[in-house]
Amino acid sequence: MKVRLRSNPRIEIVAIGTSTGGPAALAEVLPRIPSDFPVPIVVVQHMPPIFTRLLAERLASRSAIPVHEASAGAVLSTGQAWIAPGNFHMKVIRAGAGWCLNLNQGSKENSCRPAVDVLFRSVAAACGANVLGVVMTGMGSDGVLGAQAIRDAGGEVIIQDEASSIIWGMPGLVHASGLADAAYPLDCLAAEITHRVLESRGHRVPHDSKSYATLERPAK
Q: 118-136 pLDDT, tens per residue?
A: 999 999 999 999 999 999 9
Q: What pLDDT score does 137 carry?
A: 98
Q: What pLDDT score does 203 carry?
A: 82
Non-local (6+) Cβ contacts of 136 within 8 A are: 16, 17, 18, 21, 22, 25, 26, 29, 159, 160, 165, 170, 171, 186, 189
Q: Give the C-alpha separation, 218 to 86, whole Å.
A: 38
Query: 46, 63, 141, 181: which one is catalytic?
Result: 46
Q: Give the C-alpha separation, 157 to 139, whole Å.
A: 18
209 as an active site residue: the answer is no
Q: What pLDDT score does 177 carry?
A: 98
142 as an active site residue: the answer is yes
Q: What pLDDT score does 29 carry?
A: 98
pLDDT band of residue 219 (cuts 50, 70, 90) is: very low
Q: Give the C-alpha separation, 214 to 184, whole Å.
A: 8
With a cut of 80, say whether residue 204 has pLDDT above it: no
Q: What pLDDT score does 206 carry?
A: 61
Query: 19, 122, 164, 165: which one is catalytic?
Result: 19
Q: What pLDDT score does 213 carry?
A: 40
Q: What pLDDT score does 218 carry?
A: 30
Following DSSP, what letter does each residue of 4-21 receive, concatenated? P----PPP-EEEEEE-TT
Higher pLDDT pick, 33 / 208 = 33
Higher pLDDT pick, 121 / 217 = 121
pLDDT band of residue 208 (cuts 50, 70, 90) is: low
Q: What pLDDT score does 8 carry?
A: 73
Q: 62-121 pLDDT, tens per residue?
A: 999 999 999 999 999 999 999 999 999 999 999 998 999 999 999 999 999 999 999 999
Burial (0-12, 13-18, 19+ Cβ within 10 Å), 71: exposed
Q: Give the C-alpha separation, 173 to 170, whole Å.
A: 5
117 as an active site residue: the answer is no
Query: 63, 117, 122, 142: which one is catalytic?
Result: 142
DSSP annotation of 110 reads: T
- Domains in the chain, CATH or no CATH each: 13-201 (3.40.50.180)
With a cut of 50, say whether residue 38 has pLDDT above it: yes
With a cut of 70, say whether residue 205 has pLDDT above it: no
Do 133 and 157 touch, CB atoms closer than 8 A? yes
Q: What pLDDT score does 7 carry?
A: 61
Mean pLDDT score of the chain = 91
Burial (0-12, 13-18, 19+ Cβ within 10 Å), 196: buried
